[in-house]
Amino acid sequence: MTDNVTSKASERRQTIRWNFRISNIDAMLSNVAVGMVTPFIPVFAMALGGTNTEVGLITAVPAFINMLMYLPAASFVERGGSRLRITVRAVFVARLLYLAMGFVPFLPWPNFRAAMLIAILGVQTIPNVIVAVAWTALLGDMFPAEERAHLFAIRNMYSAFVALISSLAAGVLLDRVAYPANYIALFSISFVAGMVALHYCAKLVEGPIKARPSRRRSLGERLRQPFADPVYGAKFRVFAISAALLHLGINIAVPAYSIYHVRCLNLSNSVIGMFSLAAGLTTVLAYPLWGRVSRRAGHSLVYVLSILAYAPFPALYGLHGSVTYLLALQAAIGVFNAGFALTILNLMLQHVNPDDSANGIAVFNLLINATGVLGPPLAALVVSRYGVTWAFVLSTIVRAAGCIVYIGASGMGDTFGKLHKTFSPSASRRRRINRKEKGVL
């Protein structure tokens, strides 16, 4: 009996190691596509002749479709059996659409090219929503909760490094190759990398497929369930509201950054790529740090530190147009990007009922994407009437509100008490003594 239990535990550890290794390869290859394409989609829209409003719609339209699709996607994932199989099929469809984007400049109607790009992004959103629900739930199933901080920190570090190198390479490609051949090459490379990533994703080992509730639930029931859960509901409410406000502030700033870089400062694609490099490099280096802090002090503290840094960033970014100044700010915020990315996933998995994870993840992402519908048009309105600087100020105010909600619910005293305990010299000495007592050097 004991040998059987030991054998199963050993097999479980081998599966976790295999999935960790394969998911790292998948993440790195996937981030070749993400790193090359995502930072330059707004720039591509402007090259197609897009207006400020259309640049805002680059974010708003996919976010609106996300908002409509997340709950149906949760129902689809719950009834679809294997989450891995669903992920692979949906990713394949989404990545095929990269090729379609590359040929938008050849449309015979110049005035509709930016609109066609927005339409393709909207269609791509549908399989991406399914992937977001199925893949996040699959990660929660594959890796135990107590190991996620460490494993996800390493995984994110590798994938972020690949994304930043890809972003830098994309900026150079776009500057050195004539338009529109540069974008055809960009989307083609992204498609090929995405297909290779999908090959590795299909090699993951999924655990036993659990029987999911077959009863159909109304949209209202699905929306209420994560908030009303007797065990998880209270913390989910605070976290979801805080995260929604933070993301509203982020989505107000996203189109403003592109307009600021291209139309206010006249920066080249290579310089814009350097901003991604500066933020990405510090993000890569910071992931192991935040992984250690999360294990010692919890995900909540890392989240607080990250959002406190996020709040003033847009206002500071608009103070001066010097490339050196902006690079320094991008490098600084990159440290906190790592903490935010690590904890937003871990806290979401921590605050949803594991037996209803697909629905909880869908409701959370629906709220986040609702901010993507509101933020960009609001940014376009503010930029058109008052200028980019005021869009940055509004973003800072909304982000600060998200900080207040979370820290207020957590308790100011508790939050800053944890900060003191985690980073005080005496705490460091105690940890060194404990490691010595355990024989850890």
More confident residue, 400 or 280: 400
What is this structure's pTM?
0.71
List the structure tokens of 113: 């090219």
Q: What CATH number was assigned to the domain covering residues 10-205+222-431? A: 1.20.1250.20
Tell me what percent of the residues of the chain surpass a pLDDT of 90. 18
Confidence of residue 6 (pLDDT cuts 50, 70, 90): low
Listed residue (205, 277, 253) closest to 16, CA to CA: 205
Average pLDDT for residues 381-408, to the nearest whole number? 91
Q: For 31-63, how does the pLDDT look when each residue is reduced to its tens digit (9 = 90+)?
A: 887 778 887 888 888 888 888 778 878 877 887
Residue-by-residue DSSP string for 37-74: HGGGHHHHHHHTT--HHHHHHHHHHHHHHHHHHHHHHH
* pLDDT(388) > 60: yes
* pLDDT(313) > 90: yes
Q: Is the peptide bond before 180 cis (omega within 30 degrees of 0)?
A: yes
What's residue 310's pLDDT?
A: 92
The whole-angstrom separation of Cα 441 and Cα 415 is 30
Confidence of residue 440 (pLDDT cuts 50, 70, 90): very low
The domain locations on the chain are 10-205+222-431
CA distances, 1 to each of 8, 14, 369 (Å): 11, 20, 50
Cα-atom radius of gyration of the chain, to the nearest Å?
22
More confident residue, 340 or 145: 340
Measure CA 70 to chain center: 16
Confidence of residue 317 (pLDDT cuts 50, 70, 90): very high
What's residue 421's pLDDT?
A: 61
Lowest mean pLDDT segment, chosen from 109-123, 143-157, 378-392, 417-431: 417-431
* pLDDT(95) > 50: yes
* pLDDT(320) > 90: no
CB within 8 Å of 241: residues ≥ 6 apart: 402, 405
Listed residue (168, 140, 175) closest to 355, CA to CA: 140
Helices (H) and strands (E) in the chain, counts: 17, 0
